[in-house]
Chain A
Amino acid sequence: MTHRRPFFITFLAPAVVTAVILAAALFEVLQYSVREFVPGSLNVGGFTLENFTRINRPIYWWVLLDTFYISLLTALFSLLLSYPVAFALVRARRDWVRSLLVSLSITPLFTGEIVRTFSWMLMLGSDGFINSMLRKLSLIEMPLQIMYTRLGVVVALVQFSMPVMIILLATAISHVDRDCEKAAANLGASPGAVFWRITLPLTLPGILSGIVVVFAWTMSAFSTPQLIGGGKVLMISNLVYLQGFSVLNLPFAATLSLIALIAALGSLVLMKSLTGRLEKRLAVR
């Protein structure tokens, strides 16, 4: 059976154009990464592999590791905080509760990253909301240092990623067959046992894709670590920025970008294969 698809080429065109431009840009990054840095100039010199050998210094490896670490922490905390929200969102009996939860969890998605990060700076600073509240309650004497720490960055990134995590989890939770939960209860499972043995395993695909998406997303975070980390918490994007726009070493920035891209893709592939295997083992429809 052959289908005639008269508009196929036409419809494909935008995707092709986008892909070509992306490929060209990546190629440009690639070719920058193998050029010499000419100090004091934006022009680059001849071919060299020096940028790649320069990567092999502990400081850069630490930034890369830190990026992994922050992304992983963000994904895990985002999951822990989002699951109850997503669950309540799907299972709420009253419509207004559901709409309220939807708007509360999705609206942040429509405020810019800068706006959200700035709000967190107001929250987390030495004179910020959290510190002044804690001091008013006499729980602390000296302000807690949250700004410019990994903790502060993770807190903001978790909030930043929660809408996406909630959407992915809510989709998974809404696909759980309620009859399976009823059947489990009928067979003697307490509400807790129903959750741990039925609901949670059946939402595992959503949990895994949520972790993967948030992890990958956080790997490329820039403004949050830039503003809240204030140069004290460096993620890979901040390092690229530093090299490219402060030191103006564009070739090395390109090399770092390439490394970041490879690291992100590599960890995604790794995660996909892990979750793929897990899912196959559980064979959830």
Chain B
Amino acid sequence: MKAVMKAVIRWFRVVSPPAWSIVLALIFYLIIEGFRQYTLTLDAAVETRKFGDVQSGIVVVLAAAYGAFRGIAFHPASRDDYLNWLALTPWRFPQPLPLGPVQLVAQDLVFLGLFEVLVFDATLFRFLLALVPAVFLFVVCSSWAVCVWHTGPRVAAYQMGFALGATLWVSSWSYLAAGGCAIATYLLCARRLGQSFQAFPWESNRPKRQSEGQAHLPSFRLLSATKEEADLGWAFETLGPRRAERLPLQDRLLLSGLVGWWALAITACLPVEIVRPLAALVSIGFGAFHCVGQVGLYIKTHLPPISFLGRLTTGRWLIPSYDVAILPIVYFVVAVGMGTFLTLPGVDWPVRYVVPVVLTLYLVATNWLIPDLERWRLTCETRISPWRYGMASNQYEQL
């Protein structure tokens, strides 16, 4: 019996999340279950159902978290040390990955089955039974798309992203069509992931010297980071000969299109009565956040070369090489104005189309018509400030 238990545990451990996360999820779930059982003793049917629905919602979130874990944690691109070590071994696809499979395996069915049992027990809302595997698969495929994007080829990742958006969109038509689309999307994603592994060791994995440039990508080192790439302080970090390359224009445009496509898919899934206020609110919020973030990224250490008062008194109202970094604010205002105009009575474009179109145009403009960060920092007229290090920004300021 002991041997069987050991074998089962060993079988599960191939893909199981860390023990602490399982314990944490279990405790959280049991607390809610405790409340539900308590309401059962009170014979409060409505309260019991509410707790059951919350519990089911938690299970769906747990399924999503497990999907993200399965999609990313076992992928070598998520860990520098694993990736570098693997590149030195004779491992080649389709041999099994040494630290566990990225593709779905039988153990995942058991975990999914467990989630389904929990949902079935907790709620009468049977729609959630279909939602658990759908959310799990959606998150797994999205995670794969992120991994493929980082390891190349990017075109495959965009195909995966657009296919996932299409699945979401089709789900607003009929569940049958959505099921068919989901299967097709899963097969496409699994194939593209396999093709990505076939190209291992990936080009982006090769070490580069700083001066040769490193792709200016969001860090994908979820579990480790090299100390060499951490802050170098003032003034080496801002004045050192470091150069990061910007994403190619094609990628920036495709990513802008992908955001618009997903916005279209999401708004299609929402009931008509809440699309208008929600879509407007979310898209304006996203645009404002993006615009402030983008401008902040540019100017956080690079201040205008002359104060506002100095601009006024010297007649240099505009400093084109510097002020170009503030253009996203203008684009944002124009986008909001355009969106408002298109939905006015008389023009009457449907909100579910206005939001994706305006959002895409805004992102294309900010990605295309603004010089890349490194070029701007190296050539614009500016005053580099060490304020981000908590140092007085007026070190060089004198009237």
Determine if chain A interacts with chain B.
no
Binding site for B on A (CB under 8 A): none
